[in-house]
Amino acid sequence: MSKFLIPVSIMLAASVGLLFPGIIGRLRNKALEYWSKLLELVDGNIFKDLTNQQRKFGRIKESYQPVNIRALNCRIQWTKLEEENSIYDALSIEICGSIHAPNDNCDTTLQISIMDVTDGAANAKVVQSRLPQWSSQNGPDPSAFSFNARLGKLPNRVTTLSDWTSITQIRFDWLMFPRKGKRQLQFTTSIMSAEDNQQLARAQCEFTCENPFFGYTDLLENGERTNILAVALAFAVSAADNELYDCEIELIKNWARDNVLESSASDTDERKLDKALEKTIAFFRAGNNIDTYKICDEIVTIAPVAQRYDILELCLYVAQSKGSVTTEEITLLKNMAEWLGVDSEKFRIMMEKVLPVDMHQVKNVEIILGITSDMSKERVRKHLNKEYSKWNSRVTNADPDIQNQADQMLKLIAEARSQYTIQALTS
Q: Are strands 181-193 and 175-176 parallel, antiparallel or unpaired?
A: unpaired
Can you tell me the distance from the alpha carbon of 325 to that of 332, in angstroms, rounded to the nearest whole number? 11
Can you tell me the distance from the alpha carbon of 348 to that of 33, in angstroms, rounded to the nearest whole number? 35
pLDDT in tens, 91-141: 999 999 999 999 999 999 999 999 999 999 999 999 999 998 888 877 778
Helix (H) or strand (E) holding 78: strand 72-83
Residue 423 is predicted with a pLDDT of 59
Helix axes of 305-320 and 246-260: crossing angle, nearest 10 degrees: 150
Mean residue pLDDT across the chain? 81
106 to each of 98, 197, 347, how far by Cα in Å?
14, 12, 59
Q: Hey, where are the domains in the chain? A: 6-19+47-212, 214-362, 370-427
Rounded average pLDDT over 254-276 = 85
Q: Are 251 and 321 in contact (CB under 8 A)?
A: yes
User: What percentage of residues in the chain have a pLDDT greater than 70?
Assistant: 81
pLDDT in tens, 307-319: 999 999 999 999 9
CATH 3.40.1360 for domain 214-362, yes or no, is no
Can you tell me the distance from the alpha carbon of 422 to that of 427, in angstroms, rounded to the nearest whole number? 9
Strands (E), 105-157: 106-116, 125-126, 128-129, 146-154
Which residue, 409, 406, 389, is CA-closest to 398? 406
The partner residues of 40 in beta bridges, in order of sequence, read none
The DSSP line for 264-277 is: T--HHHHHHHHHHH
Measured in residues, the chain has a length of 427
Q: Are 126 and 139 in contact (CB under 8 A)?
A: no
Looking at the chain, the number of H-run helices and the number of E-run strands are 13, 10
Cβ contacts of 270 within 8 Å, gap of 6 or more: 257, 261
CA dihedral 292, 297, 298, 299 (to 10 degrees): 90
